Amino acid sequence: MTKKPLILVSNDDGITSKGIRVLVQVMKKLGDVVVVAPDSPQSGMGHAITIGETLRLVEEDIFEGVQAYKCSGTPADCVKLAKHYVLKDRKPDLIVSGINHGSNTSISVLYSGTMSAAIEGAIEGYPSIGFSLCDFSHKADFSHVEEYVYKIAAQVLKNGMSKGTALNVNFPPKRNESIKGIKVCRQAHAKWEEEFAERYDPNGRRYFWMSGNFVNFDKGEDNDEWAIANNYVSIVPCQFDLTAHHAMKQLHEDWDWADLK
């Protein structure tokens, strides 16, 4: 008998979210599933880890036939605890995170708890994917993405991935027309332009409330924002090496390091 792949599932919306339930059901068709996910929403946590505080891990009977744990920490904490404690000597064949309620395209990948779990998997050397649905509604419909989640995960299990990379997969919201297909593309040049409203609580203490608008500066048709806007699934390969290699030449040749001794 062929041994089933071992698949670790995590997310940032919490272990009770609709998105992770969909992801677990799809992954059960591909292999043996273990879940380690936050016990509460961790959106926007980026790659934060818990230092100097307790981490709690509690087994939950929440997914039929699946070993599952809720963790008090961040998505990155979940993957670390899964590797060192839950799985122990077992190595996952695939780590998947999501399905996130909301977009993780463009610059949002840096803030994303969903992608932090996938990136943590890549740091450990495992093929990893973060899945997100570009629909922030609590009533978001995930039915149109299930076949793509299956196909993409199956491709990774079959073909493997480049070391040190994780896939950032975003799905368009459900529309009247079917998804047109998949685009492997780059991260769009876009950013959030924040605003901070100064307010006061009933006790007269000042606080700030952040809001803002997402601004897309990118006019290309080879990026994730374009793909989602045109009803394609976007796949962006991401890496945790943040070295700006293009800037090294300037630092070597144009800066006078002798004067800085």
> Where do runs of H (alpha helix) occur along the chain?
18-27, 75-81, 108-111, 113-123, 146-159, 224-229, 245-253
SS3 assignment, position 139: coil
Q: Is the pLDDT of residue 2 over 70?
A: no
Residues near 175 by Cβ (< 8 Å), separated by ≥ 6? 231
Task: Reply yes or no on whether the pLDDT at 126 is more than 80.
Answer: yes
pLDDT band at 254 (very low <50, low <70, confident <90, very high): confident
Q: Which CATH number fits domain 6-189+219-260: 3.40.50.10540, 3.40.50.720, 3.40.1210.10, 2.40.50.140?
A: 3.40.1210.10
Handedness of CA 230, 143, 7, 106 (dihedral sign): positive
Is 60 exceeded by the pLDDT of residue 30?
A: yes
- C-alpha 69/C-alpha 46 separation (Å) is 21
Three-state DSSP at 55 gives coil
Q: Report CA-CA distances (Å) from 19 to 14, 15, 16, 72, 82.
A: 9, 9, 9, 19, 20
d(CA 233, CA 133) in angstroms, rounded, equals 10
User: Strand pairing partners for 57?
Assistant: 71
Binding site for a divalent metal cation: which residues? Answer: 12-13, 43, 100
Over residues 127-173, the pLDDT tens digits come to 999 999 999 888 899 999 999 999 999 999 999 999 999 999 999 99
Q: What pLDDT is recorded for position 137?
A: 84
pLDDT band at 261 (very low <50, low <70, confident <90, very high): low
pLDDT tens per residue, range 74-84: 999 999 999 99
Binding-site annotation: residue ranges: 12-13, 43, 100
pLDDT of residue 90: 94
pLDDT band at 1 (very low <50, low <70, confident <90, very high): low
Q: How far is CA 123 from CA 16, 80, 119, 144, in A?
A: 26, 10, 6, 31
Whole-number pLDDT of residue 44: 85
Burial class (CB in 10 A: 0-12, 13-18, 19+), 237: middle
Whether 208 has a pLDDT exceeding 80, the answer reads yes
Its pTM stands at 0.93
The H-assigned helical ranges of 124-244 are: 146-159, 224-229
